[in-house]
Chains A and B, each alone.
Chain A
Amino acid sequence: MTHHPKERGNLSRRDFLMRAAGAGVALSGAPGLLAACGNTTSVPQATGTGGELLGPGGLPLARPDKRVTLPRWEDPIESGLEPETGGTFTVYNYPAYFYKKLLKEFGEKYGVEVQYTPFDNINSGLQRLASGAVTPDVMEITPDTLDIGVAGKLIKPLNLDYIPNLQKNIWPQLVDPFYDGESRYTVPYTCYATGIAWRTDKIKEDIAGMQQPWDIFWESQAYKGKVALLSENRETIGMALLRKGITDINTEDPALVNQAVADLKELYDVCNIKVDDLQYQTIPEGSSWLHQAWSGDMIAGYIYYLPKGTPATALGYWKAPHGQVPVQNDCFAICSTTKKPVLSHLFLNYLLDNGVAYENFVDFNGYQPPLNEIDPGSLVKDGVVPPHLENSVLTNDDLGTDSLQYGTLTSQGQQLWEDGYSNFLAGGGS
């Protein structure tokens, strides 16, 4: 077949393939050609005058045995001011992590409409806040992300005169916590430990009786497809470290982190490991049999997701003994975008009220507030928690100076852990 001369400009298949190959070569060589441009893949690392590593914004890295009092970047509001009224009051938090009935009651009490804006995780929530995409009044924050909030001036210093419930109702360990000395920026919201949840009617092994219970994930061939880890880089890699007896869960040693990732990758073949954060639902429903889980998931799962006819004893939970178990607490802080700073303080006081905090815990999210009046025995006695899940309730002592807590990492440490998790999540052999 011949073509009109105007059609001669069309590419033949061979021409196309050759040109595509050429384009591919050019593309692969593009970075080389752009070598004259900058070529960096690290976030600037802050160090102190003594050479010690610092967190984002040059703030010291807090650890349970290394208390940090954060600098105030502005003065707190004065005492004795009247709360603002009218308009909206925005709470910025994980989805479905605060009882809407209580938010509504707060709004009615102070004449504002309470709006709930969810984020996917704290880091992305902080980035949205910094970008101005959201302008909340108060937000949830965690100790390991607190540096970003303070150094980025995203959260405001507190005036504790407005928050008497902190001293009155909250565990002493968290009134003046190691990550935020003098509670300059945060108040605690919930606390939890990381352990293992399982279905006792499906898993034959005595997990709690094992010499190293974390090994159960590496011995779960029989439960393939029903085994999952939390989808959090700190939790997965941290668990693999703990399994090997490494209790420095804030390590920035590449050898240790890379070995932990290599260990996690063994789980592809062992049990086709999954990652998700649905353990509070999937374990009670039975679609997952073995799952790394936070202690609050067991309480929430027992209260809300256990199907009728399934006994509470079908749920099992283990957490390591004190000093070997990762524990954490979530916090609340006032965003620098607030137009209602006084009301924001009152909200923080409201969420630490014994009745409010208890109702939020028992009637909604299942995550325990660090209230003095809550103790494992009373929760069992009141029927909130079944006796065999009493170990999922924490006490003040669990958060002591010898506790294991995921703390802020340096910028490079965060890169190391994020890349390690990416490697695990890629599901490949490399």
Chain B
Amino acid sequence: MYRRWLWPGVAIPGIVWLILLFVVPFYAVLGVALGTVDPILFQPVPIWNPLEWNVGWLNEVFSRLAPGGIWFDVGVRTIVYVLVSLGLCLLIGYPVAYYTARHAGRWKGVILILIILPLWISYMMRMLAWVNLLQSDGYINRFLVYTHVLSQPRDWLGGSASTVILALVYGYIPYLILPLFASLDRIDRSHLEAARDLGASPWSAFRTVTLPLSKTGILGGAVLITLPMFGDYYTPNIVSGAPSTSLIGNQIDLYFHGGPQPTIGAALTIVLAAFLTVLMLYYMWSIHRAQRDVGAVGAL
């Protein structure tokens, strides 16, 4: 009896934690999104009973996000920015993680500290530092002009999509590299040696052994950075400020910042969460598949 309840009991603190810090707040947002608004203070009045929920705000959000709606473009823009940023993060982050895991030797610890180091400074402060660096007469432009990469200073902060995407990449890439590194570091080198012994070229061994075995790290890192990117609003605010580069998070921010319709912000949060849940389900399915494949490789 004691043993039967021992291990499930260990999970109780985690379950309580999850209920307190995820389930309850999520239900609160749901209650707000499907609730009403105080006519005087414009504060949300949550409705806790599902039978009394008001779906008007949710319908309104759906209609705005639909093609032809006022948020369709910003929704598409958010998806594009996040996907491009994710692609760039992988392109830059994978080689870094690979080198650190496989070739850094005694420098591995130093490199990991250097990757983590920026996280010791708040995200906002790092972005504000970039605003200074990216000024027309800032160090980035000076360097690029000095090295003849640019003939004249570029207006990085003039509201360009590339700046927002690069800022997202800069801000989130450490969160991709770390799980990727952990995944690559765990790969048993004997698998690679076996592949080489069987005649695989280095590229072929990477493609058929390393890459599939690091899939869990890629997906884990991808999830870790795409979820906050989808809700990000301060990055475009700081490095751009142009409506043409705003993200869906800016709309949530707008409606939660006072005004008579905080419920719109909550409803949009729910819709975004539902969208991200679909991505998460895909992630969980992929992880499951990848782990099974890893098991199959291990059994060879």
Chain A contacts to B: CB under 8 angstroms: 1, 7, 10-11, 16, 20, 23-24, 27-28, 30-31, 34-35, 37-41, 43-44, 46, 56-57, 120-127, 130-131, 148, 151-152, 154, 224-226, 228, 233, 268, 272-276, 287, 411, 414-415, 418-419, 421-430
Contact = CB atoms under 8 A, between A and B. Distances in A.
Contact of A276 (B77, B241, B262): B241
Contacts of A411: 39, 42, 260
A16 B155 CA distance: 45
B158 interface: yes
Interface string B282-299: 100100110010001000
Contact of A38 (B52, B60, B282, B289): B52
B56 A274 contact: no
Contact of B39 (A10, A20, A46, A233): A46
Contacts of B70: 419, 422-423, 426, 428, 430
A261 to B, nearest CB: 9
B131 to A, nearest CB: 9
Contact of A426 (B55, B74, B259): B74
Interface residues of B, number: 62
Contact of B260 (A28, A30, A43, A122): A43
A273 B243 CA distance: 7
Contacts of B269: none
A120 B34 CA distance: 26
Given A37-B51, A418-B260, A425-B254, 20 more contacts: A16-B282, A20-B281, A24-B278, A27-B274, A31-B58, A37-B53, A38-B36, A38-B54, A44-B39, A127-B262, A225-B160, A228-B241, A272-B242, A272-B244, A287-B157, A411-B260, A422-B71, A425-B243, A426-B70, A426-B71
Nearest to B136: A287
Residue of A7, A57, A228, A272 ringed by the most chain B CB atoms within 10 A: A272
Contacts of B185: none
A274 B241 contact: yes
Given A43-B42, A152-B41, A425-B243, A34 B155 contact: no
A118 to B, nearest CB: 14
Contact of A425 (B56, B62, B246): B246
A275 to B, nearest CB: 6
Residue of A43, A44, A56 ringed by the most chain B CB atoms within 10 A: A43
A421 B243 CA distance: 11
A409 to B, nearest CB: 9
Nearest to A420: B70
9 contacts: A11-B285, A38-B54, A46-B39, A122-B258, A272-B244, A275-B241, A276-B237, A414-B259, A428-B73
Interface in B242-293: 242-246, 250-251, 254-262, 274, 278, 281-282, 285, 288-289, 292
Nearest to B263: A41
Contacts of B281: 16, 20
Interface of B: 34, 36-37, 39-43, 51-60, 62, 68-74, 77, 135-136, 155, 157-160, 237, 240-246, 250-251, 254-262, 274, 278, 281-282, 285, 288-289, 292, 296
Residue of A43, A126, A127, A426 ringed by the most chain B CB atoms within 10 A: A426
B135 A287 contact: yes
A24 B60 CA distance: 18
A16 B55 contact: no
Contacts of A28: 62
B73 A426 contact: yes
A301 B123 CA distance: 28
Nearest to A267: B243
A423 B254 CA distance: 11
B254 A422 contact: yes
A35 B261 contact: no
A129 B55 CA distance: 28
Nearest to A11: B285
Given A152-B40, A226-B158, A274-B242, A41 B260 contact: no
